[in-house]
A and B are shown apart, each in its own frame.
With several copies, the nearest count.
Chain A
Amino acid sequence: MNLELSPEDLAFRDELREFFAGAVRPEYRTAIRAGLRPTPQQLTEWQATLAERGWGAPTWPKEYGGTGWTPTQLYIFETEAARADAPIQFHQGLELIGPIIFTFGTDDQKERYLPRIISGEDWWCQGYSEPGAGSDLAALSTRAVRDGDHYVINGQKMWTSYAHVASHMFCLVRTSKEERRQQGISLILVDMNTPGIKIRPVETLDEKHHTNEVFLDDVRVPVSNLLGEEGKGWGYGKVLLDRERAVGASTALRLRSQVDAIYSAARRIPFGGATLADTPAVATQLAQLEIEALTIETMVMRLMADAAAGVDSGPRASMLKLRWSETLQKVTELWTEVLGYDAAVFEDLSGEGVPEDMPLALQGALYARVTSIYGGSSEIQRNIIARRSLGL
């Protein structure tokens, strides 16, 4: 047992460190530290920067344009990215549909889509949830009916993050009327410019527009856009379970710099002849959160070790998602608390500007509420662990 890096890994780390030092723009940092995503423009730009360096798809095999890195290399990459407050690559193309395409897609689909995911030219969104199908995704009712060389899709998708900037959507639809639940569901790739798609923005509690409702009204999609076999769409989702670790790891490793951001904020605030960071209440909470972050970092290392050993990492990825979202919520809440009355200055109405941390800190705290709901709510994650790992 050891944490030592081999000389090759050390050289790799130094290479990464140098790259990030040059490539990460200062304006990314504030959003990252507040637990927020940079803007879609920034994310696209960052994806292009990585792609140019050959690192656009850190988790993909080499044959599809990925890096082919080992779990340890990936861990080093994510650690260094976190250390530099680099943006987290947007995952819906890279980690969700990309791997399904290269695992189950046709050669034509691979050629057409994969390179543009890596370059950042295409932006994919995920057409899964529906008004009646949230935690219970298998209850979805959007239908695709075969009509010659096309599928005609009708239905409504909800919580479609970034549909308003996406070029493509991967969409779970029902292609068979007879069967129920998980049966008869297919995965179809949809160009967002196809007529019949209407997007309604859904503003969230942080007063931002991340997500949307997507209405599909007689949307005609070529049959060649079916991914894999008709009726097998549900099963393809399973390939994701073993890849969840990548998404979890990259976000979870950011917690330490987020704790650090609060520490800096508390250091800036004069209080009782010293700073707020010196008060026992704040110092103790920061210490607790730093310990949580260190623990979670180590859980990521264990997840990567699972990956290297080819072990089912699903339950551990669920644990990570749970602990990360809970901790992120506490971290962002503490930031808001530290700001005191400044946390009230969400929008300046008389041209004087807002305090340095606002409104990002509060947006971070509010947005963090979503993290224990999306991608499988905390309740669903606990169900998964109970079933898959504990046999309950």
Chain B
Amino acid sequence: MNLDLTEDQSMLADSIERFGTERWPAADRWRLLREAGAKGVPELWGEIAELGWLMIPFAEEQGGLGGSFDDAMVLASGIGKHLLPVPVSTNAVLVAPLLKDCPAEFLEDVMTGKVRVALALGDGDSRFDHLNVATTAERTGAGYTLNGVKNFVADGGDADHFIVPARTSGSGAELEGISLFLLSRESDGLTVETYRSIDNHRHCRLRLSGAETGSARLLGEEGKGGLPLGMAVKGGVLAQCAEAVGAMDALCNLTLEYLKTRSQFGQPIGTFQSLQHRMVDMFIAYEEAYSITVRATLEAKEGVMDRGRMASAAKAKVGQTSLFVARQAIQLHGGIGTSDESVVSHYLRRLTMLDMALGNASHHLQRFAAIA
């Protein structure tokens, strides 16, 4: 039993720390984003690929670094801490295990950032239940024809390919009968509606009306995609928890700094007991979020088979505590915390979206309850 970072993990954390501080300083974030405009900052993806970070979640036999859940945690947590607008949790950690049988050159393109892949979620009316798939895939000639709607392709706004879960048999939330397809953005019959969320991430909605895919584009076995999909989502959930924990870490520390430097009524506001106690509660919330995330991550690493129950515990608790921390960080900053210029407000926006993505706290709490 050991809760310390390994030497490699410490080096990775340091490297993210440097990159974040230099390339994406908190004080400049609002200006950088404003200059970038609607297109966002896609070049960052190539830059972090160059640092090798995208290789972490891919297995060694795929040419990746074979990073474990806790390596992904270190990576995602650093990204969250610096609010780097790079969708590592989704375009790398979430999709990596689903791409394992893809050709080597394709995987290389993914890991070097040339090609982006996103997972299509939010099927029809399924809300956050990702195994509740209504999109259909019918065998037609050499390939399949897909019909359905995917409302939320997490960070799919700039993706070149989509992993699309569709039913080749079964219905509702049955595990059997879900197949996974890799679909090019350019596919016939596919309409991609791109949109932006409040945290400046770019997602999309897919409308599949007879979208065509060759049989080579089936990922894994037909009808057997449910289990790997569930496993992939679990990995994504853990990475998002880590991202939120990183953001909480930064928020706690910058708010503490503010309490020590901002004066009102002739004294640093950190001398007021009610604010001190609030600050303590924020740090406790961080401690809690970190703890449950580590626990869920390490149990996943050890292969504990719990149908993602512990990951749901983490997602629920992290959603609750991270929003508490972000809201209180703004409250303690006062007016300035609500401005676009202050990075504090960016953390709230990101954490609001991180709570929602892959299912919010309320959903995961009920999921946890259901898997008794």
Choose among B2, B70, B128, B327 the residue that contacts A340 (Cβ–Cβ < 8 A): B128
Contact: A301 with B1, CB < 8 Å? yes
Contact: A366 with B198, CB < 8 Å? yes
How near does chain A come to B205, taking the closest CB pair, in angstroms? 7
Smallest Cβ-Cβ distance to B252: which chain A residue: A390
B331-352 near A? 1/0 per residue, CB < 8 Å: 1001101111100011011001
Contact: A349 with B3, CB < 8 Å? no
Judge whether B18 is part of the interface by a CB distance below 8 angstroms.
no
Contact: A390 with B283, CB < 8 Å? yes
How near does chain B come to A46, taking the closest CB pair, in angstroms? 26
Smallest Cβ-Cβ distance to A281: which chain B residue: B362
Contact: A291 with B292, CB < 8 Å? yes
Contact: B260 with A391, CB < 8 Å? yes
Contact: B353 with A344, CB < 8 Å? yes
Contact: A362 with B271, CB < 8 Å? no
A350 to B368, CA, bound (A): 37
Judge whether A122 is part of the interface by a CB distance below 8 angstroms.
no
Contact: B195 with A349, CB < 8 Å? yes
How near does chain B come to A213, taking the closest CB pair, in angstroms? 10
Contact: A287 with B1, CB < 8 Å? no
A345 to B264, CA, bound (A): 39
How near does chain B come to A228, taking the closest CB pair, in angstroms? 26
Judge whether B105 is part of the interface by a CB distance below 8 angstroms.
no
Contact: B365 with A288, CB < 8 Å? yes
Contact: B302 with A2, CB < 8 Å? yes
Chain B residues within an 8 Å CB radius of A383: 273, 276
Chain B residues within an 8 Å CB radius of A348: 193-195
Chain B residues within an 8 Å CB radius of A382: 274, 276-277, 280-281
Judge whether A223 is part of the interface by a CB distance below 8 angstroms.
no
Interface hit among B19-27, B43-51, B92-100, B310-318:
B310-318
A205 to B295, CA, bound (A): 33
Contact: B369 with A295, CB < 8 Å? no
Judge whether A372 is part of the interface by a CB distance below 8 angstroms.
yes
Smallest Cβ-Cβ distance to A277: which chain B residue: B372
A272-302 near B? 1/0 per residue, CB < 8 Å: 0000100011011011101110110111011
Chain B residues within an 8 Å CB radius of A391: 260
12 A-B residue pairs with Cβ-Cβ distance under 8 Å, sorted by A, are: A1-B4, A3-B302, A129-B335, A136-B264, A204-B339, A302-B3, A305-B3, A341-B128, A369-B330, A386-B280, A390-B283, A392-B256
Q: Which residues of A contact B (CB under 8 A)?
A: 1-5, 9, 72, 75, 129, 132, 134-136, 139, 158-159, 202-205, 207, 269-271, 276, 280-281, 283-284, 286-288, 290-292, 294-295, 297-299, 301-302, 305, 309, 316, 319, 322-323, 329, 333, 336-337, 340-350, 352, 354, 359, 362, 365-366, 369-370, 372-374, 377-379, 382-383, 385-386, 389-392
